[in-house]
Amino acid sequence: MAASVSSSGAFIYLFFILLLFSSPRTSLSLLQSDVDLLEFPLNLEYLEAEFFLWGSLGEGLDAVAPELTMGGPPPIGARKADLDPLLCDIVAQLAYQEVGHLRAIKEKVKGFPRPLLDLSPGNFAKTMNSAVGRALLPPFDPYANGINYLLASYLLPYVGLTGYVGANPNLQSSVAKRLVAGLLAVESAQDAVIRALLYERGGVKVKPYDITVAEFTDEISELRNKLGGAGLKDEGLVVPPALGAEGKIAGNVIAGDECSVAYARSPEEILRIVYGDGSESKPGGFFPDGADGRIARGFLHNFTTIDILKQ
């Protein structure tokens, strides 16, 4: 009888241990540094989710998944894009994937409310003007047609995926590493889809600017390299063959280093790009009031990522 009770007690103990480790909410078991590194990408996931939702459906998180906004302000200037049925379907798929990413991260960490996002045509126009080095007339409108929307989309997932690559070596727990690996896989696929659709149209002139699609991507990538301030981590759709895969091909439908390994960016570099002015401590661009989370807020006080993660 005693042996039976002992066996029963051991079974109950094992059950609760398994229940604990199978729980989807594991923020209490994560180091603060892992929490910070998982929360930071929420800024980009909010940005992508809203842009793709509005572009394809004409409505954003407030309609699709209001609980994920945590009461944060609605984006500025977002609207439905003029897309053909195929492209609209693809963008809608990307949109719902981004909603899933928000859910996945918030199952592990508390997160923060949606920050104020500027998705207005004027903000995209300013970015494209900076990329090409002159004021485009008429101003670039990301929602005007499919090519414009794809070019605007080129701005987003790639920045996020380089951030996941950069974060992975600094994560401590297997839970955090598994999540980031899964997010990185889908963000990379999204970027590949966008780049492939643009590559197919690489020689097409973007009306009325007399600039080809491939030239636009090159200019955008150069701008991100400049703003990031950390050398070559971004490449357009066509590169000198020496920079292509194995140094043998100019087509560059998927970007990577000399061994075709994805580039990594730090939180500082990402904020310099999405703020649009090359500084991680000066909000602007897509984040008029700044990004959120301990890492992004720390830069406003001139801390470094290392300083923040050590706190």
Q: What crossing angle do the helices spanning 157-167 and 174-200 adopt, rounded to 10°?
A: 150
Distance CA 296, CA 275 (A): 11
Domain extent at residue 177: 30-310
Distance CA 50, CA 119 (A): 8
Residue 127 lies in a domain: yes
Residue 8 lies in a domain: no
Give the global pTM.
Answer: 0.89
Residue 61 lies in a domain: yes
Q: What is the pLDDT along the chain (311 residues), one digit of tens a residue?
A: 444 444 445 444 443 333 334 434 444 589 999 999 999 999 999 999 999 999 999 999 999 999 999 999 999 999 999 999 999 999 999 999 999 999 999 999 999 999 999 999 999 999 999 999 999 999 999 999 999 999 999 999 999 999 999 999 999 999 999 999 999 999 999 999 999 999 999 999 999 999 999 999 999 999 999 999 999 999 999 999 999 999 999 999 999 999 999 999 999 999 999 999 999 999 999 999 999 999 999 998 877 766 667 76
* Structural domain total, the chain: 1
Task: Kindly list the distances between the CA atom of residue 41 and the CA atoms of 19, 53, 159, 168, in Å, as whole numbers in the listed order.
Answer: 28, 18, 10, 12
Residue 268 lies in a domain: yes
Residue 3 lies in a domain: no
Residue 138 lies in a domain: yes
Residue 77 lies in a domain: yes
Residue 14 lies in a domain: no
List Cβ neighbours of 97 (8 Å cut-off, separation of 6 or more): 186, 190
Distance CA 105, CA 140 (A): 33
Helix (H, G, I), strand (E, B) or coil at 212: strand
